[in-house]
Amino acid sequence: GENVEQHPSTLSVQEGDSAVIKCTYSDSASNYFPWYKQELGKGPQLIIDIRSNVGEKKDQRIAVTLNKTAKHFSLHITETQPEDSAVYFCAASIVAAGNKLTFGGGTRVLVKP
């Protein structure tokens, strides 16, 4: 089955700096890659996703890149703010397999003011 590895497990950045989280996946058939943000006591919330027919997607301060050949994808957060502090999860999925997601282990991001 699919295996998703996520690094780093914790990340501390100064407010205003950039944060980068990297994930690798094992199944070359995976073609949908969402990123979720989880705040304390809440469920994961989708922040951005990318499909395998594009290499990069941007939404304001958040961007995701995908390298299908190397089977890795990354989340980039620019101009970090204290409210970006949370746990971030990457995931991978194969279309038509019941939309099932395989998650990475998560990255705890702390933005220091």
Partner 1 sequence: NAGVTQTPKFRVLKTGQSMTLLCAQDMNHEYMYWYRQDPGMGLRLIHYSVGEGTTAKGEVPDGYNVSRLKKQNFLLGLESAAPSQTSVYFCASSYSWLTAKGNSNQPQHFGDGTRLSIL
7 binds partner 1 (CB under 8 A): no
Window 9-48: contact mask with partner 1 (x via CB under 8 A): x---------------------xx-x-x----xxxxxx--
Select the residue interacting with partner 1 from 1, 14, 69, 70 (CB under 8 A): 1
Distances (CA, A) of 58 to 4, 35, 61: 22, 12, 8
Least distance from C-beta 21 to partner 1, angstroms? 13
Binding-residue total with partner 1 (CB under 8 A):
30
Residue count of the chain: 113
Collapse the DSSP code of 85 into the 3-class scheme (helix H, G, I; strand E, B; otherwise coil) and give the result: coil
49 binds partner 1 (CB under 8 A): yes
Tokens coding 36 = 């979720």
> Which residue type is seen at 43?
G
